[in-house]
Amino acid sequence: MNATEQRIDYTVRPGGRLSGTLRVPGDKSISHRAVMLASLADGVSEISGFLTGEDCLCTMQAFRAMDVQIEQTGPTALRVHGVGLHGLRAPAAALDLGNSGTSMRLMSGLMAAQAFATTLIGDVSLSTRPMRRVVDPLRQMGAVIETTEKGTAPLRISPAAKLSGIRYASPVASAQIKSCLLLAGLYADGITEVREPEASRDHTERMLKSFGVDVEAEPGRAALRGGQRLIAADVEVPADVSSATFFMVGAAIVPGSEIVLTAVGVNPTRTGIIEILKRMGAEIELQNPRFFGGEPVADIRVRGAGLRGIEIGAELVANAIDEFPAVFVAAACADGETIVTGAAELRVKESDRIAAMCNGLQVLGIDAQAQPDGARIRGGQLHGGSVNSLGDHRVAMSFAMAALRADGPIEILDCANVATSFPGFAVLARSAGLQIEGEL
């Protein structure tokens, strides 16, 4: 059953602390890209550590629907028989990408270059998320794409006469925009270049290189020439730093907690959360540094410590955008005031995460004031109460960790979509000491 077709609520009893050595699931961003690039490569690629959350499974099913043979050879292992850059076949029906914005935005670039028509659809939440940010530059390249009047899915994509490379200055730092255009650029005449106001995560550039594509990449800029061939490569997916974040915050806010999160991806375009927590006073060490392919990996040790409020500006936002719901919980447990600015992007995620977190923290007794591009949060005593995650997986898991510092139970409504990014979250959290009920 799809996560959106069932109802799961969490109840988390107050108190406790986190301890132990944990391995969170594979990185969602890297898992998506591994399936996409392996499918377009010549030859057979092996993927290990693949995230079997529903978002990544939607990507896998979409490529299976286009005649790519993908075998599951283990619980988190795939064998992908690539069909080459021009080997995809027309699917028999619309490609349903569930709740996955990454799938829809990146695949819009790939589908815009195919010789057949496709329609990309998603669930109710995904169908409200803005798509003009990728559709408009794709149209500049020559793509033929229709959206709703609001610029949302379904995306109806028709074959283009040809795509031409463009030099695009993105108004926001977004790995999804950049990756979408680079993937379309594989098929385009000439060079496709994307510049950003801040450096966004660079998983696509790193992985393209591992599949044999010549990519020019530096912070805030990436470019490639169209027509290059992808060669099959094996991909080892590290543990997801976004999923590790909930446990980092949970341990950091409770004195006496101590956890080790193993084999976590610490790509420098993703470690804003570590920098933020360290500035707040968290005790965090990176141990055993190594590489999985082109991606840096480390074990992360976190000890409970007293946190302090800080100012978090735009320079830290791009490298921690998905982690901010958990940052808001850390702020609620810190001494003093935390001010977040430059984070308007949070309003167009799976939910309006600024509103969802501030409203929920207010229910729990915290002075949390939403701002157009961020929030002002004054740390204090968390109380029990009932909060609505609005179907947003990261909001749900963040409020679960808040119960560690609450004086009463926290009920979290509408948590089924946790399975999109972190299958087994409640089980792993219980093993680490969180008193959570609501998921087997």
Contact in structure between 403 and 410 (CB atoms under 8 Å): yes
Cα-flanking dihedrals φ and ψ of residue 290, to 5°? -160, -175
Greatest CA separation found in the chain? 63
Token code pair at residue 214: 């010549």
Cα separation, 212 vs 230, whole angstroms: 6
Cα separation, 78 vs 89, whole angstroms: 21
Give long-range contacts, CB 8 A cutoff, 24+ apart: 378-381: 378/309, 378/336, 378/337, 378/338, 379/307, 379/309, 379/331, 379/332, 379/333, 379/334, 379/335, 379/336, 379/337, 379/338, 380/332, 381/407
Contact in structure between 176 and 203 (CB atoms under 8 Å): no
Distances (CA, A) of 88 to 43, 153, 158, 260: 14, 22, 15, 42
Q: Could you list the active site residues?
A: 322
The amino acid occupying position 184 is: A
Helix (H, G, I), strand (E, B), or coil: what is residue 406?
strand
Cα separation, 93 vs 103, whole angstroms: 17
Q: Please tell me what DSSP assigns to residue 174.
A: -
Number of other CB atoms surrounding residue 352 within 10 Å: 17
